[in-house]
Structure formats: structure tokens, C-alpha cells
Amino acid sequence: PVEIVPGCLYWPGWLDRAGQEALAEELRVVLARAPLFAPRMPRTGKPFSVRMSNCGPLGWVSDSDGYRYQPTHPETGEPWPAMPDVLLKAWDALAGASLAPEACLINWYGPGARMGLHQDRDEEEFSAPVLSLSLGDTALFRIGGTARKDPTRSVRLASGDALLLSGPARLAFHGIDRILPDTSTLLRQPGRINLTLRRVRPGG
Ligand code: MD3
Ligand code: FE
């Protein structure tokens, strides 16, 4: 892997085309049971441009009550579907000896969607890494340091790329500036899916 900033390891093309297609098919099954929802900003109620769902024991949601992890879908009330085995295998291969991931957040970016610079701090466990897998159109990803004003670097995240955030990068500011149109033929519609696998609660 390539180290983008300290603690941010990047594997371009970690999944080959067949692996990407297999994962996309697994996600169609997951999303049929846990449909994408439109999260809203806690204070303003403004919708995110990214749509979301989750799989695994816990899922990240955001509404007027705030950001949190919960075991059920905010609209169906059903438990999140199980994490596909290919995701657990990716975690085993890249996240080292960490305990199994508890949450996989599924972010769907349509052509105009973006995600502002932020830190991920809704977990109780920051010592475990976060693993990201990208599918579909390429994203312009930006990552800096633990202060918002720190300098940033940009990386194009393409379909099949993996990113592992640990140590000093776990609390780094990061975001998605834009999606580059017509950069992948994987998905049935223009856009991008990003998966983030995480531990949420401290483990034993
Ligand atoms: C750096 N997702 O879900 S993935 C998120 O492409 C999120 O959907 C973006 O930021 C996306 O919170 C970026 C790469 C990523 C994921 C988690 C991180 C970078 C990270 C956590 C800490 C630091
Ligand atoms: Fe994030």
C-alpha cells in the first residue's frame, strides 16, 4: 500500500473487476432489505446530498435527534442485514488483528453529491481502524490532519480501491469534494458507493 498521510494506507485496485461485480451484487441484496435513506443534519434538518444505509449489527444514522449508531433501520425499523462475507474477509485481510467490524456504512453518491470536511467521532472506539472500499465512479477524496486548518492532500478513489485509516489518521479531517462523471461502468446508474467498516464499541 501507499501511505497518503501518516496512518492512511491506500491500496489502488484492491478488488479486481470480478470482485467488484460480486460485491455490487451482494449490496443489491442488502439494499433491497435496507433501502437507502436520506439522513438529515441534526440542528438544521437539511438533508445530506449522500444517501445511506448500513449492514452489520450496528448502523450510523442522522436525524433531528443527532448522529448515532443503532441496531435498526430508521424507516423500516428492521435490524440491519448481515455483513456480506466478502466484507468480513476484506477486514481480515487489511485491518490486521482487529476485532470484527460492527458497522458497515453504505454511502451512495449521485453525480452531484459531496461530503464536507469532517472528523468521524461518533464511535466509542478510536483505536480500531476504519476500512473504506469504493465502487463505481471515481471520487476526489481529501484528507488532512487532526485540526481543520491543517494542510490536505487529495486522492482519486476509483472503483475497487481500499483505504485503511488508523493511528494518527483515525481522527483526521476528510471529505469528498466531487464525483468524476463517467469514470466507471460497474454500477447500473451513474454514481458511487463507498463502504466504511468500523468498530463502534470498545472490545474486551
Ligand atoms: C478518514 N466517507 O463515511 S471514505 C464517512 O467516500 C466518510 O464516503 C467518505 O467520510 C466516502 O465518514 C470517505 C474514506 C474515509 C473513511 C473514514 C475515515 C476516510 C476516513 C475515518 C477517519 C479518517
Ligand atoms: Fe468520514
The reply to whether 203 falls in a domain is: no
Q: Model's pTM, two decimal places?
A: 0.98
Question: Quick check: helix, strand or coil at residue 94?
Answer: helix
The reply to whether 156 falls in a domain is: yes
Residue 52 pLDDT > 90: yes
Protein residues with C-beta less than 5 angstroms from the ion ligand 2: 120
| 105 residue type, one letter | L
Integer CA distances (angstroms), 1 to 77, 130, 163, in order: 39, 15, 9
How confident is the model over 183-198, as pLDDT tens digits? 999 999 999 999 999 9
Number of the ligand 1 atom closest to the C-alpha atom of 8:
1
Which ipTM score applies to this complex? 0.99
Residue 94 pLDDT > 80: yes
Q: Which of 11, 60, 107 to mutate to test the pocket of ligand 1 (most atoms within 8 A of CB)?
A: 107
Residue 125 pLDDT > 70: yes
The reply to whether 22 falls in a domain is: yes
Number of Cβ within 10 Å of residue 46's Cβ equals 9
Owning domain of residue 160: 2-198
What values do phi and psi take at 120, rounded to 5?
Answer: -95, 105
Q: Is there an atom of ligand 1 within 6 Å of 120 CB?
A: yes
The count of domains in the chain is 1
Q: State in Å, rounded, how far the first CA of the chain is from the last one.
A: 29
CATH of the domain at 173: 2.60.120.590
Q: Which residue's alpha carbon is at the smallest distance from atom 4 of ligand 1?
A: 132
Question: Which of 107, 74, 115, 77 minimizes the C-alpha distance to 197?
Answer: 107
How confident is the model over 155-183, as pLDDT tens digits? 999 999 999 999 999 999 999 999 999 99
The reply to whether 76 falls in a domain is: yes
The reply to whether 16 falls in a domain is: yes
Task: Kindly provide the b/e burial profile for residues 154-165, where b requires at least 16 CB atoms within 10 angstroms of the residue's own CB.
Answer: ebebbbbbbbbb
Q: What is the pLDDT of residue 204?
A: 65
User: If pLDDT is split at 50, 70 and 90, which confidence band does 96 have?
Assistant: confident
Q: Is there an atom of ligand 1 within 6 Å of 172 CB?
A: yes
The reply to whether 56 falls in a domain is: yes
Number of Cβ within 10 Å of residue 145's Cβ equals 16
The reply to whether 26 falls in a domain is: yes
Distance of CA 198 to the CA centre of its chain: 9
The reply to whether 11 falls in a domain is: yes
Cα-Cα-Cα-Cα dihedral sign, residues 176, 56, 58, 99: negative
